[in-house]
């Protein structure tokens, strides 16, 4: 066990080699926290982090492998002796219509964005439950509340993340484990540069144009990633953190507008909705 750092909490962060995960890793280390930072490329994390490296444990991990996740969690516990905050951040977006997506492309999106998170949660829960504390932070998106054309697989994963988190919160609250679903909007990370696009394209769906649009938008997002990760640190210190947390004016406006439209649609069809019981 690493006994050089006795202050702060122990965090586990997936997708920590770049973007929000890397920003969060650096922020936490600057505050004296210990970080288990995972990525398929652990060497990249070691290269990017230059300070407080004694409090960093970089782990090469494919979160879609249940066995790799189990071993990584065991190693993290052995290294730091505990886990306090788990941030399920790893993910990517696949752009393309449902007609264009292959079965493998669709399933791969869910494997990383959803089932990887499930693997992490499954293997950290025994430790958090035994110690009677912990905080699981799942990163969704405004795409978890709103369906977007040419993003069906990503929508499916991020919508599922919301339902998963709500159910998880009810299961683990009794054990002193806190749960938060974070839905960011557009933040100026390299997320857009990691967007993948369907290989087999049908011109009618306009994926070529979508790729040009998203590529051009990279680096112009309005959200400040440093503010985002500071908020994640802030909610980890709360006695009663939010279950749902929208981040970014874009997400706030989009989700509230969607809720208004849903309420209007539900009311429009209210008579049919209430007509189903036995007379």
Closest CA to 60 of 48, 52, 71, 49: 71
The Cα angle at residue 166 between residues 111 and 175, in degrees rounded to 5: 105
What's the mean pLDDT in 187-195? 71
* Residue 222 pLDDT level (bands cut at 50, 70, 90): low
Given its phi and psi angles, is residue 11 left (phi above 0), alpha (psi -120 to 50 degrees) or beta? beta
Give the C-alpha separation, 265 to 144, whole Å: 19
Query: Could you write out the DSSP letters of every residue in 240-254?
Result: S--SEEEESHHHHHH
Contacts of 91 (CB under 8 A, 6+ apart): 15, 112, 113, 116, 139, 157
Contacts of 168 (CB under 8 A, 6+ apart): 121, 136, 179
Give the C-alpha separation, 12 to 86, whole Å: 5
What domains appear along the chain, each with residue ranges and CATH number? 10-90+111-188+222-266 (3.40.50.720)
* Residue 4 pLDDT level (bands cut at 50, 70, 90): very low
pLDDT of 3 above 60:
no
Query: Looking at the annotation, which residues are catalytic?
Result: 140, 154, 158
Predicted confidence at residue 7, as pLDDT, reads 59
Are the C-beta atoms of residues 113 and 154 closer than 8 Å to each other?
yes
Radius of gyration of the chain (CA): 20
Per-residue pLDDT tens digits for 95-125? 999 999 999 999 999 999 999 999 999 999 9
Measured CA distances, 256 to 2, 58, 268 (Å): 46, 39, 18
On average, the pLDDT of the chain sits at 92
Residue 62, SS3 per DSSP: coil
β-strands 34-39, 94-95 pairing: unpaired
Residue 106, SS3 per DSSP: helix
Give the C-alpha separation, 58 to 44, whole Å: 9
């Amino acid at each position: 066990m690493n006994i050089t750092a006795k202050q702060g909490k122990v965090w586990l962060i997936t997708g920590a080699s770049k973007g929000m995960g890397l920003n969060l890793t650096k922020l936490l280390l600057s505050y004296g926290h210990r970080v288990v930072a995972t990525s398929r490329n652990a060497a990249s994390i070691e290269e990017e982090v230059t300070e407080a490296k004694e409090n960093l444990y970089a782990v090469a991990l494919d979160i879609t492998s249940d066995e790799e996740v189990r071993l990584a969690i065991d190693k993290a516990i052995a290294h730091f002796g505990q886990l306090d905050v788990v941030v399920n951040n790893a993910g990517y977006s696949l752009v393309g219509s449902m007609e264009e997506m292959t079965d493998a492309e669709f399933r791969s999106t869910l494997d990383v964005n959803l089932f990887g998170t499930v693997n992490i949660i499954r293997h950290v829960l025994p430790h958090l439950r035994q110690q009677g504390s912990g905080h699981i932070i799942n990163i969704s998106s405004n795409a978890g509340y709103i369906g977007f054309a040419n993003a069906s697989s990503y929508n499916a994963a991020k919508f599922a993340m919301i339902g998963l988190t709500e159910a998880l919160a009810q299961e683990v609250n009794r054990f002193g484990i806190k749960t938060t679903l974070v839905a960011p909007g557009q933040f100026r990370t390299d997320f857009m540069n990691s967007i993948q696009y369907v290989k087999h394209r049908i011109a009618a769906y306009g994926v070529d144009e979508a790729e040009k649009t998203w590529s051009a938008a990279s680096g112009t997002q309005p959200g400040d990633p440093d503010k985002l990760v500071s908020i994640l640190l802030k909610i980890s210190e709360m006695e009663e953190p939010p279950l749902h947390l929208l981040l970014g004016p874009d997400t706030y406006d989009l989700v509230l507008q969607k809720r208004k439209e849903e309420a209007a649609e539900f009311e429009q069809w209210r008579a049919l909705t209430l007509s189903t019981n036995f007379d």
